């Protein structure tokens, strides 16, 4: 069965007296181990959908089943647990803690979840061996994003949710980060959803879901990748 099964979610935002429908009847299924790229113009609802899956934000109606559990029915305790244990988030801005080292940034997350990977293993996996004692300001943007990926992956999350992970990076560094996300996907069989504006990124995905005006406009399986496997 699908690791993600979204059924007819709706989400509106209120601004003043008016409501804006950010997601209209969105349904989506994702299988374990897939990399799904979410494309679409600015304002089409990509972040709203990812934040709903990650339980950062609530939806108005519909079901969001993760491993057959509907998270829209979770109580606060279950939601806190779900975010802490099951979801790794990676954002455009790396959101590292500036006065903690690479090692400590990752360790902080490892210490609060119940099934962490060994910290050094994750540091090696993201290619930061030897940089354990550096502070975020001593790292390039790409290296900082590697730390933020390590911090997400150390939890052994069911889902890795990436919102414009290469939005602040040049194209070569972006490719390296995408290769890393692919490597993580293969090594740990982590299911990945990635929001991007970058058309080139979609070439690496098993699947490209395109949103427009809060609806799924297309959902395409990448045959190129499939046949290469």
**Site residues for ligand ADP per CB under 6 A:** 13, 15, 20, 22, 40, 42-48, 103, 107, 110, 118-120, 132-133
Shortest reach from residue 104's CB to ligand ADP, in Å: 7
The first and second tokens of residue 171, run together, are: 């194209």
- Three-state SS at 56: coil
CB of 133 to ligand ADP, least distance (A): 5
- Say if strands 159-163 and 87-91 run parallel, antiparallel, or are unpaired: parallel
Q: Nearer to ligand ADP by C-beta: 48 or 198?
A: 48
Residue with tokens 């300001």: 137
Residue 81: CB minimum distance to ligand ADP, A? 21
Contact 32, 23 (CB under 8 A): no
Cα separation, 35 vs 228, whole angstroms? 15
23 vs 87 by CB, closer to ligand ADP: 23
Do residues 15 and 24 lie in contact, with contact meaning Cβ atoms separated by under 8 Å? no
Q: What's the CA gap between 216 and 141, in Å, rounded?
A: 32
Which residue, 33 or 43, is less far from ligand ADP as judged by CB? 43
Minimum Å gap between C-beta 48 and ligand ADP is 3
Least Cβ distance, residue 224 to ligand ADP (angstroms): 25
> 15 or 75, CB closer to ligand ADP?
15
Residue 16 or 223: the one with the smaller Cβ distance to ligand ADP is 16
Question: Residue 228, SS3?
Answer: helix
Beta strands in the chain (DSSP E): 4-15, 18-30, 35-39, 61-66, 69-70, 87-91, 159-163, 191-195, 207-212, 215-221
CB of 14 to ligand ADP, least distance (A): 7
In angstroms, rounded to a whole number, what is the distance separating the alpha carbons of residues 122 and 150?
A: 6
| DSSP secondary structure letters along 126-158 | TT-TT-TT--GGGS-HHHHHHHHHHHHHTT--S
Measured from the CB atom, is 45 or 142 closer to ligand ADP? 45
């Amino acid at each position: 069965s699908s690791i993600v099964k979204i059924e007819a979610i709706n989400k509106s935002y209120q601004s003043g007296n008016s409501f804006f429908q950010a997601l209209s009847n969105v349904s989506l299924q994702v299988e374990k181990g897939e990399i799904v790229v979410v494309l679409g113009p600015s304002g089409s609802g990509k972040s709203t959908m990812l934040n709903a899956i990650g339980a950062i934000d609530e939806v108005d109606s519909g079901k969001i089943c993760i491993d057959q559990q509907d998270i829209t029915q979770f109580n606060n305790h279950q939601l806190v647990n779900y975010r802490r244990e099951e979801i790794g988030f990676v954002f455009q801005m790396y959101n590292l803690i500036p006065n903690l080292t690479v090692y400590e940034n990752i360790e902080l997350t490892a210490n609060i979840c119940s099934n962490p990977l060994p910290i050094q293993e994750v540091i090696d996996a993201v290619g930061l061996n030897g940089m354990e004692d550096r502070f975020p300001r001593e790292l390039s943007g790409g290296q900082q994003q590697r730390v933020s990926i390590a911090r997400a992956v150390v939890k052994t999350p069911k889902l890795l949710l990436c919102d414009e992970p290469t939005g602040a990076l040049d194209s070569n560094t972006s490719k390296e980060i995408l290769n890393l996300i692919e490597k993580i996907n293969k090594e740990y069989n982590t299911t990945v959803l990635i929001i991007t504006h970058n058309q080139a990124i979609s070439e690496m995905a098993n699947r490209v879901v395109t949103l427009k005006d809060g609806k799924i406009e297309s959902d395409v399986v990448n045959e190129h990748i499939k046949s290469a496997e």
